[in-house]
Amino acid sequence: MSRIVTVGEPMALFAAESEGLLEEVDRFARFVAGAEVNFSIGMARLGHDVTYITKLGNDPFGKNIQGFLKNNDIDTSFVTFDDKHATGMQWKQKVSAGDPEVFALRKNSAASTMDIQSISSLSIADFQHLHLTGIPPALSTSCREMVYELARKAKAQGVSISFDPNIRPALWPDKKEMAAVINDIAFLADIVFPGMAEGRLLTGRETPEGIAQFYHAAGVKTVIIKLGPKGAYTSSEDKKFYTEGFEVHKVIDTVGAGDGFAVGVTSALLEDLPLEEAVRRGTAIGALAVMAPGDNDGLPDRKGLNDFMEPKLNR
């Protein structure tokens, strides 16, 4: 299996146990959140080796997150602790339909203090793949410089790069800067995973085909646009196709579906499966993700994935 590296901000997540406004809910269940955490767990459950780069507060939540990553077979040798800044925290609404409200306390968090020094001892040539999202570049200027450095080194060493925009407008001073920075990083990637709404915001294009062409014009080889329950649109140098989504019996929590999609596509490509099969796996894991509570509870191991994807008899 492949060796993969990613960087991000894991946060302590408190998910409401009952429906209602966050200010009215009394009880919360504790989880670990973060787009890159979800990606890392999903890849590790499928047997890939994942190294996670981050900085945590030297507090109970940071220590819990480190243990959580280790328990999910994620390499934490590049996880460091900060005595002066706290671990980021998040609260999530419980809903029966649509996307939940999420409230975060992450300004001046430990992760936001990461910089180029945080990756000074990392040898990118030791890995086959680098996965990035648009979240770390939004945390601080120093984090942004670190992400650029990682992407440039990976590209120079021939390490493949996947990029999920994962836009968080609240973390940026304005949408113009957000689009400029996120697109700059996306242009360094081999494969880009925008959602449809993200793609419109970042490119000004209105169709999946138009969004894909925007990134192709900047040199991105493969663009896969997430279409939610409808599946995905894929555009590469020699292939363009739509993939239907898997049937979802009951939506429990939509957060993490896009990360699951990235897990499916990336893992399959690293296993040398055809692009069509990779996207199909992405839609499968995205469907599994929305049928479970927490941001990463639904990410399957190899058996769970195969059982879900195999055609069922008598359907």
Residue recorded with tokens 């999946």: 208
3-state DSSP percent of the chain in helix, strand and coil, to 5: 40, 20, 35
How far apart are alpha carbons 279 and 166 in whole angstroms?
A: 18
Cα–Cα–Cα angle for 192, 265, 247, rounded to 5 degrees: 115
Which residue among 75, 253, 259, 295 is the active-site one? Answer: 259
259 is catalytic: yes
How far apart are alpha carbons 40 and 278 in whole angstroms?
A: 17
132 Cβ contact partners less than 8 Å away, ≥ 6 residues apart: 6, 7, 147, 150, 151, 161, 162, 163, 164, 185, 189
Residues designated as active site: 259
